Amino acid sequence: MQQSEIQAVKQRFGIIGTSEILNRAIDIAVQVAPTDLSVLITGESGVGKENFPQIIHYYSHRKHGPYIAVNCGAIPEGTIDSELFGHEKGSFTGATADRKGYFEVADGGTIFLDEVGELPLSTQVRLLRVLETGEFIKVGSSKTQKTNVRVVAATNLNMTQATRDGKFREDLFYRLNTVPISVPALRERKEDIVLLFRKFASDFAEKYRMPAVRLTEDARQLLSNYYWNGNVRQLKNITEQISVIEQQREITAQILRAYLPKDDVERLPALFSSSTNDAKTFNSEREILYQVLFDMKKDMTDLKKIVHEIISTQNIDIKHDDINYSTAFLNRKDTIISASNSPVEYQNEKVVRDAKPFENHYDEAEPIQDAEEYHEVESMQKPLTLAGMEREMIKMTLDKYKGKRKLAADELDISERTLYRKIKEYGIE
Ligand SMILES: Nc1ncnc2c1ncn2[C@@H]1O[C@H](COP(=O)(O)OP(=O)(O)OP(=O)(O)O)[C@@H](O)[C@H]1O
């Protein structure tokens, strides 16, 4: 394939990178697209596997047919057969009507089975059958149905090991793996790292309406030589943190080092492993977030002290609860902005604007109207453990997206499977 054609594919799908191994993977996807062969996309978590089934669908004769992406790891084991193959009314408790499964709905199109290695063995049998004969049977039915679906699957598991361990059927593995596409880890395409950083920095600059962060030469070196365990997803996540938290827009290696998880910094060559006095190190990228939350809590406590002082020096009569409400209100309205230790110009603007309701509030000493909100505010005053904070963040994000896990997982920058596991772990409704 011509370089210009590969470039066109990248542009169409928003894929950044110029490395030869990435180009090779894109080339295979386009070449295999017009055939109906099954494709198995492998690669570590966060390398960008999701782009490939879309490329394959787009360049195939199924382009105008349906495209359905299913995250096999996010669907509970008890419902996966019904989701994929449908069910008949009355086939289990809660099956109040007939339901079409994805294989029926995607007739004439493409199904992307993400995290296919997570499928239970019983579902693997059904999948093998539909791949080999195009036939499937709905849950609770005895009638065989036909469908014409192209299957593209992806996994970050070592499938050879999974088959050896008896977790994945060998025959299904070979059937899915007719054409393998391996998406390289970020550390194997170092030349793409700075390009990706620039792209994400510019996207976040637009999203948060602030100038884009830039890297100094030593920061570029550090970024390019870092291990990137979480690949492009981790790079994107760290670029967002830096864009939002750092006051200065020029990022040096010293600033950057504070955002790179310590274990992986230690895998770097000696040149980059030295620690400096004021550079914070974090065990995981999530700790940055926790640090922000702790800083936020500290800001809140300081703010409360100031409010108390103002009230006591001006002899204003106000109930304690009202103060809690007001400071929490300030804090909650703009978590990230008030979390910064030293707000920059655009942040000050926002903080001043948000401060208005608070000033009015103690002038008029309005009672709290909304009891639910008051309890929510009250609970924010209690100290939380790290796990508690994570639970709260997940709950808030799920609420924000009205329980839509895909959107919540995207915002939290974790895979749907991880989100699903955490929902179960924390018993979130
Ligand atoms: N080459 C790239 N250019 C731009 N963005 C990319 C690129 N590769 C990955 N991304 C972005 O990185 C994030 C992770 O990618 P994606 O979800 O495709 O990873 P994955 O390999 O499917 O991970 P998992 O196995 O955990 O599901 C997404 O936000 C994606 O848009």
- Could you tell me which residues come within 8 angstroms of residue 33 by beta carbon, excluding any fewer than 6 positions away? 55, 56, 57, 58, 59, 60
- Enter the tokens of residue 237: 């996540």
Beta carbon of 184 within 6 Å of any ligand 1 atom: no
> Domain coordinates of the chain in residue numbers?
3-184, 191-283, 288-380, 386-426
Q: Which pTM was predicted?
A: 0.66
Q: Given ligand 1 and candidates 24, 47, 188, 191, which is best to mutate, with the most ligand atoms within 8 Å of its CB?
A: 47
Beta carbon of 261 within 6 Å of any ligand 1 atom: no
**How far, in Å, is the centroid of ligand 1 from the Cα of 28?**
18
- Rounded to whole angstroms, the Cα distance separating 194 from 44 reads 20
Average pLDDT of 412-429? 80
- Could you tell me which residues come within 8 angstroms of residue 220 by beta carbon, excluding any fewer than 6 positions away? 194
Closest atom, ligand 1, to C-alpha of 410: 29
**How far, in Å, is the centroid of ligand 1 from the Cα of 356?**
41
**How far, in Å, is the centroid of ligand 1 from the Cα of 190?**
16
Asked if residue 329 has pLDDT above 70, the reply is: no
**How far, in Å, is the centroid of ligand 1 from the Cα of 47?**
5
Q: What is the DSSP string of 66-119?
A: -EEEEEGGGS-TTTHHHHHHEE-TTSSTT--S-EE-HHHHTTTSEEEEETGGGS
3-184: which CATH number, 3.30.70.2390, 3.40.50.300, 3.30.450.40, 3.40.1160.10? 3.40.50.300
Quick check: do 191-283 and 386-426 share a fold? no
- Rounded to whole angstroms, the Cα distance separating 132 from 157 reads 23
Q: 91-102 as b/e, with b when 16 or more CB fall inside 10 Å? A: beeeeeeebebb
- Could you tell me which residues come within 8 angstroms of residue 166 by beta carbon, excluding any fewer than 6 positions away? none
**How far, in Å, is the centroid of ligand 1 from the Cα of 122?**
30
**How far, in Å, is the centroid of ligand 1 from the Cα of 234?**
9
* Cα–Cα distance list, 124 to 72, 147, 170, 218 (Å): 11, 17, 10, 49
Beta carbon of 189 within 6 Å of any ligand 1 atom: no
Q: Which helix (H) or strand (E) holds 215?
A: strand 214-215
Beta carbon of 48 within 6 Å of any ligand 1 atom: yes
- Rounded to whole angstroms, the Cα distance separating 177 from 32 reads 13
Residues 120-172: tens digit of each pLDDT: 999 999 999 999 999 999 999 999 999 999 999 999 999 999 999 999 999 99
**How far, in Å, is the centroid of ligand 1 from the Cα of 416?**
13
CATH number for the domain running over 386-426: 1.10.10
Taking phi first (over 0 means left), then psi (-120 to 50 degrees means alpha), and beta for anything else, what does residue 157 get? beta
CATH number for the domain running over 191-283: 1.10.8.60
- Rounded to whole angstroms, the Cα distance separating 414 from 175 reads 29
Closest atom, ligand 1, to C-alpha of 50: 18
Confidence band for 360, pLDDT divided at 50, 70 and 90? very low
Instruction: Name the residue with the closest Cα to ligand 1, atom 7.
Output: 48
* Cα–Cα distance list, 116 to 87, 100, 268 (Å): 21, 20, 33
The region of weakest confidence among 95-109, 168-182, 265-279, 342-356 is 342-356
* Contact between 402 and 420 (Cβ < 8 Å): no
Beta carbon of 46 within 6 Å of any ligand 1 atom: yes
Instruction: Name the residue with the closest Cα to ligand 1, atom 23.
Output: 46
Residue 46 DSSP SS3: coil
Average pLDDT of 324-331? 35
What is the biggest distance separating any 2 CA atoms in the chain, rounded to whole angstroms?
Answer: 83
Confidence band for 211, pLDDT divided at 50, 70 and 90? very high
Which candidate, 43, 27, 139, 123, places its Cα nearest to that of 75? 123
- How far is C-alpha 260 from the chain's CA centre? 18
Residues 165-210: tens digit of each pLDDT: 999 999 999 999 999 999 999 999 999 999 999 999 999 999 999 9
The pLDDT value given to residue 314 = 67
Beta carbon of 17 within 6 Å of any ligand 1 atom: yes
